[in-house]
Amino acid sequence: MRYFIELSYRGTAYHGWQTQANGISVQQTLEAALTQRLGKPIYVVGSGRTDAGVHAEQQFAHFDVDEPLMLSDQLLYSLNCMLPEDIAIQTFFPVRPTDHARFSAVSRYYQYHITRQKNAFLNGMTYHFRPQLNEARMNEACQLLLQHRDFQSFSKARANVTNFLCRLEFAYWQRTVDDRLTFHIKANRFLWGMVRTIVGTMVEVGQHRMSLGQFEQIILAKDRTIAGRAAPPNGLYLVEVGYPAEVLAQRASALTHG
């Protein structure tokens, strides 16, 4: 039996999603709680690997067990009690054996938050960046971004991928009433470090340190060394992971009865 977990987490205290030797990860923490609660070794596969310090408002993972689980509100509650306060499971539900948290996903939606004013309650949750940014110019850069599909210039150099093609659905900047500047971007896939590098490069555009022509030349060059510095991880959020309706067929029922 295969189950999907829907969860959220504040990434500040973790060395990213993926289990690793040099620090505590979200995956490792989740697996430990599931293993303890279910009484057998549990290994989870996430929809994607968020970097150290990156947050997720919605993340999905799957795991396999030999026997069906007795899904109940008590099981969900007990698991959340075992997890740290910065990781929360919203629900879990059965899926088909062929459904995969990573490979069945059809889209990912990220947001990046920038605040000009220091806020004691948002420490580690946004990028505190004091210089004024021209979001109109940054939105013009977004329009250029949407005209392309190869984003090698915004990928970490040692990314282990066969191609750098991504199909963007939207990309835009929006200023909120509390003067927070938020970057919205959705695509079928993202490269390692892609969103943070796009943000870091667009910040140069927003400060009038880079022309729109130079921004497009960076895209066309397919060369990471000429793009801007990656923005810090603390402003980045994985907001939504999209799946075909048949993958999420049991989710509505689980949310209703969870």
> What dihedral angle (degrees, nearest 10) is formed by the CA atoms of 214, 193, 189, 218?
10
- Please give the structure tokens belonging to residue 95: 């899926």
> What dihedral angle (degrees, nearest 10) is formed by the CA atoms of 37, 39, 45, 49?
50
For residue 232, the 8-state DSSP code is P
Distance of CA 225 to the CA centre of its chain: 24
For residue 221, the 8-state DSSP code is H
Type of residue numbered 65: V
In whole angstroms, what is the distance from residue 75 CA to residue 239 CA?
A: 25
CB neighbour class for 11 (10 Å; exposed up to 12, middle 13-18, buried from 19) = buried
**179 catalytic per annotation:** no
- The catalytically annotated residue of 51, 73, 178, 223 is 51
Residue with tokens 């750098």: 164
- Please give the structure tokens belonging to residue 205: 């555009």
In whole angstroms, what is the distance from residue 189 CA to residue 175 CA?
A: 25
Residue with tokens 């220091």: 118
End-to-end CA distance of the chain: 19
- Identify which of 110, 153, 131 has the alpha carbon closest to the alpha carbon of residue 11: 110
43 is in an annotated binding site: no
What residues form the annotated binding site?
Answer: 110
What residues form the annotated binding site for substrate?
Answer: 110
| Residues forming the active site | 51
